Amino acid sequence: MSLSRLKRSFYLQDAVSLAQALLGKMLVHVIDGVETGGLIIETEAYAGREDAACHSYKRQSPSGEHRTDVMFGPGGYAYVYLIYGMYNCFNVVANVENEPEAVLIRAVEPRQGISAMRERRKTRDVKKLCNGPGKLSIALGITREHYGADLCGGGLFITEAESIHASRILATPRINVDYAKEAARLPYRFIIRDNEFLSKRPTT
């Protein structure tokens, strides 16, 4: 990969800032020499202990056996969890140690290894390969075995790619977090405007 990997220091910012900064970066996974990757176009910030939508809400420290333990470490590691008993969601741990925040990658625009993505997703429709967190994990071969993976080293990583002007970024409420009540209305979902690979287009 010719593009430079993001350094640890990039990830040591709060989740809301990181969620915006990740737009236009490239998420890459190399498995047995096969490289798949996509431009990050949709993210959601989960802002730690005070955010009722965040898995680490009200948690003060790691327990050694809770799924959020990796979030208590420094940014730049993978937090992968299962939803609906069948789909893996890939998150990037944000902020400094003991600030348990993360950014969910909701959608990417396929750029590399599209044939491998099609085979994994069992579809020829490029727009449907990675337009959702569960879909992109399948397309990129991300599983719960990648929980805790260091994104600054190894086969799963994020690189520089495109510079996205602030005018192209739209903030909306997050998706499917109604359980969080007031926090569900926070504008913590960030998208690249008018991108055709989004998981869900904004209604306004």
Q: What digits encode the pLDDT tens for the residues 5-58? A: 999 999 999 999 999 999 999 999 999 999 999 999 999 999 999 999 999 999
- The pLDDT tens digits of the residues spanning 62-100 come to 988 899 999 999 999 999 999 988 899 999 999 999 999
Residue 173 and residue 42 in contact, taking contact as beta carbons nearer than 8 Å: no
* Sign of the torsion formed by the C-alpha atoms of 183, 184, 189 and 194: negative
The residues, any chain, with a CB within 8 Å of residue 139's CB and separated by 6 or more, are 36, 38, 110, 117, 120, 121, 129, 130
Q: Which amino acid is at 175?
A: I
Interatomic CA distance for residues 28 and 113, integer angstroms: 10
How far from the centroid of its chain's Cα atoms is residue 135's Cα?
Answer: 12
Interatomic CA distance for residues 185 and 191, integer angstroms: 16
Please give the pLDDT value at position 125: 97
**Sequence-ordered alpha helix ranges (H) in the chain:** 8-11, 15-21, 114-121, 133-140
**Coil vs helix vs strand at 3:** coil
- Whole-number percent of the chain with pLDDT over 70: 98
Residue 130: how many other CB atoms lie within 10 Å = 33
Domain 8-192, what architecture? Answer: Roll (3.10)
Write down how long the chain is.
204
